[in-house]
A and B are shown apart, each in its own frame.
Chain A
Amino acid sequence: MDNRNAKAWLYLLPALLFLGVFMIYPLVDVVVYSLEENYNSVQAFYTGVGLENFSHVLRDPYFLQAVKNTFILVVITVPVSTGLALLISLGLSSIQPLRRLYQTVYFLPYVTNTLAVGLVFMLLFQYNDSQVGLFNLLIRLFGGSPVDFIDGPYWAKMTVMCLYTVWVVMPFKILILTSALASVPQSYYNAAKVDGTSKGRIFARITLPMISPMIFYLIITGFIGAFKAYSDEVALFGVNLNEAGMNTIVGYVYDMLYSNGGSYPSYASAAALILFAIVLTITVINLMVSKKTVHY
């Protein structure tokens, strides 16, 4: 038996080694970092232990701006993308010809480099001396006055950030919802048809309850994903997100870790832990709500 034990651990050894060094140790270390006050990465010393880093981060206007941006992004994009994905998936599952083609097209954003496509969005939404982006052409066409969505007012930047985020997250949601819709047993629909049930009623009484676990799954992963937004913003507004006023919480963490101003791992750790606490809280709330409303 001991021999067998040893063999199993041998098979697990590489994974355990890597997870230990790059995941479990850092998990402990991030808490340690966050409690070390005035930590200096060059000399590796600190002046005390306490919550000073957290209160520093929570008072930092850049962090507060990042929290605000992230929350707006989450509150807008999660419902919009989930709702839109539901509509599109319902449309997809009601047609036969061309369905595969549509599915392929809809999935494309998932396999693209968001940094790369973000540059195209930047071109489409910009408005400056050298070029009028296509979107502004549309605005002009409808008689509005053009706005620079990349380097203009806050609401304009927020708009393009939300639009791009929705564009990026749609493939995953459509994919999950179409397969959820396909798994609703046809016999339920047939029974409803025999009874002469209206389409709206069928949707509310059969479809929606049957796919509600998947909708909740998407809402939870959507919240988590949107709270971690970062690289899409870099693609649109450039590396210096603080200057653009469009930083996110994750962006703040990385800026604290590594920027021209130096490295502040303690502040980065505190901010990362705050983010983790927010995400955890919202996930738990989501799970509690879903327990009450989701039909399995």
Chain B
Amino acid sequence: MEQSPLKSGALHRARAGRIITYVLLTLWALIVLFPFYWMILSSVKSTAAYNAELTPSFFTLRPTMENYLAAFSSEDTPLGSYLLNTLLYTVLTTALMMLIIIPAAFAFARLKFRGKNLLFTLFLSLMMIPSELVIITNFATVATLHLNDGPAGSAVRLFLGLILPSATSVFYIYLLKENFEGIPEELYKAAKVDGTSDLKYLLKVMLPISRPTVVTIVILKVIECWNAYVWPRLITVHEKNFLVSNGIQAIRESGSGRANVPAMMAAVVVVSVPLIVLFLVFRDKIMAGVSRGGTKG
């Protein structure tokens, strides 16, 4: 079939536009991916080879794992402890937060009590309070209770100090409450008629139905905890008690980090990988959760 010259011109233009779109999208994808490529590349170059390069090379023919060993075996900056501390902090904080927010969301969604609307409005207004404003007093509170990394502190106390201030989130209470309210109230009434207790109803009916939202909240909180920097930095003093963000910074400032960039990059890879894996597994949940309630950016 013959095309009119006019139409084929339009087709050409559409195709050219499409190609340009793909080129630009690929360009941005490369800009995003390049730092990841670079950290992995630098982490598998041998230290000697890396230091010998005045201008860095784009690939290496002799990848080595020695930097990862070096990163984990450094005595000044114990990467293994950082990871363990962060894992513990993340699990405990997330678990405690769920224990706090689930009943609160349930109370707002299903229970009737005097002052509910007023209290919920107050809750919502708390969402606007920036953490910078409250961290100053929290720092003093934690120090007063000896929950910081001072001379009197123990690991248990320090972890309490790390966890407690970030164990509630008004926003997640709100998110969960909205979700709970979406569950037909008839179910609740039927359960009441059957004599099911509120707690049992919450655990056996509401939570299972709301599982997707609960999982999303857990994942978002895990990401937040894993990347926590400011608060842990304020209250931890000893290297062995650092979380990963703080630890990475310590590696950078330490003599060995400067002297051994590949080992530093190995640590960077080790810190980055868990979240990237988590993201690749839960991609849709994370992206949906962030578009509903993420604020970073």
A residues sitting closer than 8 Å to B (CB atoms) are 4-5, 7-9, 11-12, 14-16, 18-19, 21-27, 29-30, 33, 41, 81, 87-88, 91-92, 94-95, 98, 102-117, 119-124, 130-134, 137, 167-173, 175-176, 179, 218, 221-222, 224-225, 228, 230-231, 234-235, 238-239, 250, 253-254, 257-258, 265, 268-269, 272-273, 275-276, 279
Contact = CB atoms under 8 A, between A and B. Distances in A.
Contact of B25 (A27, A102, A222): A102
Interface string B105-132: 0111001111010010001001001101
Contacts of A109: 32
Given A12-B107, A22-B164, A131-B54, A104 B137 contact: no
B283 A257 contact: no
Interface in B115-153: 116, 119, 123, 126, 129-130, 132-141
A8 B111 CA distance: 6
Contacts of A91: 21, 24-25
Complex A-B, nearest 4 residue pairs according to Cβ-Cβ distance, in ascending order? A172-B297, A26-B137, A8-B113, A26-B134
Given A7-B111, A15-B168, A117-B268, 20 more contacts: A9-B107, A14-B103, A24-B126, A25-B141, A26-B138, A30-B136, A30-B137, A81-B297, A95-B21, A104-B280, A104-B283, A107-B283, A110-B290, A116-B268, A116-B271, A117-B36, A130-B54, A172-B290, A250-B132, A265-B140
A75 B27 CA distance: 25
Nearest to B36: A108
A55 to B, nearest CB: 19
Nearest to B278: A111
A239 B223 contact: no
6 contacts: A21-B141, A26-B136, A113-B244, A119-B248, A131-B56, A257-B136
A102 B249 contact: no
A33 B134 CA distance: 11
B269 to A, nearest CB: 8
Contacts of B287: 103, 107, 175
A116 B32 contact: no
Interface stretch (B59-67, B69-77, B207-215, B224-232): B224-232
B249 to A, nearest CB: 6
B138 A22 contact: yes
A169 B53 CA distance: 32
Contacts of B38: 120, 123-124, 134
B18 interface: yes
Chain B interface SS verdict (over half):
helix
A130 B22 contact: no
Given A119-B252, A123-B42, A167-B31, A11 B279 contact: no
B276 A111 contact: yes
Contacts of B226: 113
Given A30-B137, A265-B140, A92 B112 contact: no
Given A8-B112, A115-B249, A131-B54, A222 B275 contact: no
A120 B39 contact: yes
B103 A279 contact: no
Contacts of A104: 280, 283
Nearest to A240: B253
B217 interface: no
Nearest to B143: A41
Contacts of B167: 18
B272 interface: yes
Contacts of A221: 295, 297
Contact of A173 (B126, B132, B297): B297
Contacts of B99: 14
A137 B55 contact: yes
A106 B29 contact: yes
Contacts of A239: 249, 253
Interface string B15-46: 00010011011001101110110110010000
